[in-house]
Structure 1
Amino acid sequence: MDNVGIVVDDLKAAVAFFAELGMELEGEAELEGSTPDRMLGLDGVRSAIAMMRTPDGHGKLELTTFHAPEAVAAQPAVPPPHTLGLHRVMFAVDDIDDTITRLRPHGAELLGEVARYGNAYRLCNLRGPAGIIVALAEEIG
């Protein structure tokens, strides 16, 4: 797998959110013309992307905002976590409580609560940029 793509309405805020999780900005670009039009099956695509990578370089997120055509909101706008096709991205963290605290100023909201999975992990799901679900896992065992 090369990367996971996420469409966001505020690229700068999404970059800040994932940077707070420890991801690094690899690069940014403006895209338009026949290549993105053909790839996406849309006409007149103008978008900006930011490629974020995990510190180990093995994982990447491509954050995209569309200038044209206007992005379409999911229905409902904030779908519940059991919606078919809903995407979730999980990150391993050293301290789940500290990570939640650092992400709250970036708009993160817990979906439920931090739960313990046996003696192995503490886990939670947050609502992140553009309503996506960001899961956190802290290894404890």
Structure 2
Amino acid sequence: MTLQRMDNVGIVVESLDAAIAFFTELGLELEGRMTIDGEWSGRVTGLRGQRVEVAMMRMPDGHGGIELSRFVTPPVTADHRDAPVNALGYLRVMFAVSDLDDTLARLQKHGAHVVDEVVQFENVYRLCYVRGPESILIGLAERIG
């Protein structure tokens, strides 16, 4: 058996609506939204008695996506949203964009801001980290030329 592809990355949020709007503006498509609960789901995550609202956001090409989750029960136990980029654990998701300046302008309407500045890596990419709603951290990369 071999790995086929990455299906999604999960992000826990307080407001599904704000996160959906942010990732929709970025170019992902809402595939579906539902509530997940029941004994089976707790056996997957280790959180028995969970009730979670989930929204699946797919990349425009249909390959991979973001799973946004809002826990109704149990309550959230930790908040890593403002952790610095050198904190242990998952850091961010990086997206390739065709026009970085336009993307940043559109995301600003959803409260997003560049973490520090847009930089150029050699003659290959323009890059930046962006904090979106709820301090969600993403990276954006525009290939030069």
Deviation at 1:129, TM superposition (A): 3.6
Amino acid at match of 1:22: G
Deviation at 1:131, TM superposition (A): 2.4
Please tell me whether residue 122 in structure 1 is matched to residue 126 in structure 2: yes
TM-score in terms of structure 2 length: 0.91
Is 1:87–1:132's contact at 8 Å kept on the other side of the alignment?
A: no
Cα separation, partners in 2 of 1:125 and 1:87, compared to 1, 3 Å: same
The Cα RMSD (Å) is: 1.3
Residue 29 of structure 1 corresponds to: 34
2: distance between equivalents of 1:79 and 1:132?
10
Cα separation, partners in 2 of 1:125 and 1:119, compared to 1, 3 Å: same
Question: Residue 106 of structure 1: SS of its match in structure 2?
Answer: coil
Unaligned runs of 5+ in 1: none
Amino acid at match of 2:72: H
Deviation at 1:87, TM superposition (A): 2.6
Identity over the aligned pairs, expressed in percent?
A: 54
Residue 15 of structure 1 corresponds to: 20
Cα separation, partners in 2 of 1:132 and 1:86, compared to 1, 3 Å: farther
2: distance between equivalents of 1:55 and 1:116?
26
Please tell me whether residue 82 in structure 1 is matched to residue 55 in structure 2: no
Work out the number of aligned pairs and report it. 140
TM superposition outliers: structure 1 runs of 4+ over 3 Å:
none
2: distance between equivalents of 1:12 and 1:73?
21
Unaligned runs of 5+ in 2: 1-5
TM-score in terms of structure 1 length: 0.93
Please tell me whether residue 102 in structure 1 is matched to residue 106 in structure 2: yes
